[in-house]
């Protein structure tokens, strides 16, 4: 193949996704391998490198055609130093200089980015954000994360850690969040938070079909709430409406802060479709200032499960462009 490519690597707690991506955002080859969280990170990097070489052989891509590597990682991390700091799901990776190790193994420049920021850039350049200069990406799943692309550039902040969107405060001294704070958007509007509130309500004796659907109170998940709501369950319907109100309050704050043209929403909870997007659009218009709400549209993400690899690749292409 006579073209230029970058390698996108999306490192998660249980799996690592790899992909060779061209400048148009098209993934021409890809694979997933287990992370093996207990393994030394240098061993994991070598497994990645071995699989990358196999992918290049399978796709007929020479090493010279691969120009750089983008690495998306949940963090905490230092993108400037190219170092993983204290990831809770990968304790063996603490203080690991992943950029140096990958560069030495592949002989290519490598760039590290928070996975939510990388996903935001991927959607901006190749997904639902194409055609706009100012976009906020929000992923609503087990947790809540995201990133902002402003004037066509990924907004990283002073230390590269900007846009912890799940940790904006929506309730003073509210529910405890996994970050250690209280009242965070994630503690109220994530899939995990929805499931927890449902479990609490059922355990407190509120009538509902949720426990029966899930096979026990402890097994209630966000998907169970959606299923019960569709069947007319009053508790599930109320919990979903409350969650959408929390989420729209958070999105309204993002609109007031960033003045985006487009808010792109992905993650597992977005699979609810218009059950999420309808109330979210209506709620955003109530919570955001009118002149800002008028120009902000809320749309589903487009890249799906490929967003990690495509986002990591987008980071690599962006950084290469800065050097050209």
The ranges assigned to domains in the chain are 5-121+305-323, 130-301
pLDDT at 286: 97
pLDDT at 322: 78
Whether CATH 3.30.420.40 fits 130-301? yes
Q: Give phi and psi for 298, each to the nearest 5.
A: -110, 125
User: What is 5-121+305-323's CATH number, 1.10.540.10, 3.30.420.40, 3.60.130.10, 3.40.640.10?
Assistant: 3.30.420.40
pLDDT at 324: 58
pLDDT at 323: 66
**CATH topology of 5-121+305-323 equal to that of 130-301?**
yes
**Cα Dmax for the chain:** 65
Per the structure block, which two tokens stand in for 52? Answer: 């990358």
99 within 8 A of 82, measured Cβ to Cβ: yes
Q: Please count the residues of the chain.
A: 324
Write out the chain's pLDDT in tens, 324 residues: 457 999 999 999 899 999 999 999 999 999 999 999 999 999 999 999 999 999 999 999 999 999 999 999 987 899 999 999 988 889 899 999 999 999 999 999 999 999 999 999 999 999 999 999 999 999 999 999 999 999 999 999 988 888 999 999 999 999 999 889 999 999 999 999 999 999 999 999 999 999 999 999 999 999 999 999 999 999 999 999 999 999 999 999 999 999 999 999 999 999 999 999 999 999 999 999 999 999 999 999 999 999 999 999 999 999 998 765
Surface-to-core class of residue 3, CB atoms within 10 Å of its CB (0-12 exposed, 13-18 middle, 19+ buried): exposed
């Amino acid at each position: 193949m006579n073209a230029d490519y970058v390698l996108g690597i999306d490192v998660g707690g249980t799996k690592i996704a790899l992909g060779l991506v061209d400048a148009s955002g098209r993934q021409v080859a890809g694979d997933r391998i287990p992370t093996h969280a207990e393994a030394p990170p240098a061993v994991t990097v070598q497994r990645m490198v071995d699989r990358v070489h196999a992918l290049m052989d399978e796709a007929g891509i020479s090493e010279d055609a691969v120009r750089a590597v983008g690495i998306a990682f949940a963090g905490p991390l230092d993108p400037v130093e190219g170092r993983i700091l204290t990831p809770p799901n990968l304790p063996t990776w603490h203080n690991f200089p992943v950029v140096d190790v990958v560069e030495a193994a592949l002989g290519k420049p490598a760039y590290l980015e928070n996975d939510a920021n990388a996903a935001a850039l991927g959607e901006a350049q190749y997904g639902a954000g194409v055609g706009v200069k100012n976009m906020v990406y929000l992923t609503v799943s087990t947790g809540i994360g995201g990133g902002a692309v402003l004037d066509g550039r990924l907004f990283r902040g002073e230390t590269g850690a900007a846009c912890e969107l799940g940790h904006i405060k929506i309730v003073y001294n509210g529910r405890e969040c996994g970050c250690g704070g209280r009242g965070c958007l994630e503690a109220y509007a994530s899939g995990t938070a929805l499931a927890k509130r449902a479990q609490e309500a059922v355990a407190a004796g509120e009538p509902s079909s949720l426990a029966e659907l899930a096979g026990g109170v402890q097994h209630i998940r966000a998907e169970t709430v959606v299923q019960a709501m569709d069947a007319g369950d009053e508790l599930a319907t109320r919990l979903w409406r409350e969650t959408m109100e929390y989420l729209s309050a958070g999105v309204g704050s993002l609109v007031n802060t960033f003045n985006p043209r487009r808010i792109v929403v992905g993650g597992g909870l977005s699979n609810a479709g218009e059950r999420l997007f309808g109330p979210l659009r209506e709620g955003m218009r109530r919570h955001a200032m009118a002149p800002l709400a008028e120009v902000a549209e809320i749309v589903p993400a487009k890249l799906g499960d490929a967003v990690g690899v495509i986002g990591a690749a987008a980071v690599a292409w962006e950084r290469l462009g800065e050097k050209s």
